Chains A and B, each alone.
Chain A
């Protein structure tokens, strides 16, 4: 199972901005924006239901005040 967490669009992402700046110095143009996030890979029993997965992402892996998350099973 994979959980991806990214800052909400309205939250400033200074790390993403630093990456955009570095890309410019690398000589790569055309990258308008970068949003940095977190990628979690979980080994989960089949018995764990979707509601539980949602709860673990919502209460620990992500802080819903500032971040959005998406869950992919399998």
Chain B
């Protein structure tokens, strides 16, 4: 089971994402932004960081990277894709997910352990959790406020496409406390918090994030 992790210029969390895949028992494969090749991976992770320096808008330039053309095509054919933080922003800019991420309403970069509530445990990335489960994983972003028009928000809600919500204090002003969403088919998931930073007790608040990486191994097996 091969899980690819894309490195863009300015990606920060690609190493942690690769490591999380290995900790979960998968075969971690580095993908390079300038190549169209997906190297026969069974799933792809777009990691956190500041691709292209966040120039123009977060994720706006990364969307046009050669590797993204291949990922957009493969995602439409059902390839599981997970966007974490900057990766979520890239997925929105690439129109694989609706809405956009804007500057936090409190105007501060937020870095803390965050309680999330699972709302859709049926995606290939979340099937190792159960609906309603609360998990703690780190969040660290300056532009993590999820916004979309009312109709889109109603659709996401009605179709069960809100995957995780912030429990308790909303850290960034995201509409309807949205921390993560998925596409209509469920194979493309984006979230602002960082499950790859919570795969081992030694380096994270716990191992609550490991389930994302274990789930996809089961889903694609």
- Using a CB–CB cutoff of 8 Å, the interface residues on chain A facing chain B are 7, 10-12, 14-15, 17-18, 60-61, 63, 65-66
Give CA–CA (A60, B102) in the complex, Å. 16
Shortest CB–CB separation between residue A46 and chain B, in angstroms? Answer: 26
Contacts of A14 in B (CB 8 A): 102-107, 173
* Size of interface on B: residues with Cβ below 8 Å to A: 20
Shortest CB–CB separation between residue A32 and chain B, in angstroms? Answer: 19
A-B contact count (CB 8 A): 37
Contacts of B147 in A (CB 8 A): 11-12, 65-66
Instruction: Say yes or no for B60: interface residue by CB 8 A criterion.
Output: yes
Max chain B C-beta neighbours (<10 A), residue from A10, A12, A18, A61: A12
Q: A12-B105, A14-B104 are in contact. Are A65 and B99 (CB under 8 A)?
A: yes
- Using a CB–CB cutoff of 8 Å, the interface residues on chain B facing chain A are 56-57, 60, 64, 92-93, 98-100, 102-107, 145, 147-149, 173
Shortest CB–CB separation between residue B23 and chain A, in angstroms? Answer: 35
Given A10-B149, A65-B92, 14 other A-B residues pairs in contact with their CB atoms under 8 A = A11-B102, A12-B145, A12-B173, A14-B102, A14-B104, A15-B107, A60-B60, A60-B64, A61-B56, A63-B60, A63-B93, A65-B98, A66-B100, A66-B147
Max chain B C-beta neighbours (<10 A), residue from A12, A14, A18, A60: A14
Max chain A C-beta neighbours (<10 A), residue from B92, B99, B147, B148: B147
Q: Are B100 and A65 in contact (CB under 8 A)?
A: yes
Give CA–CA (A27, B56) in the complex, Å. 32
Give CA–CA (A48, B143) in the complex, Å. 34
Considering the complex, give the chain A residue whose CB is closest to the CB of B101. Answer: A66
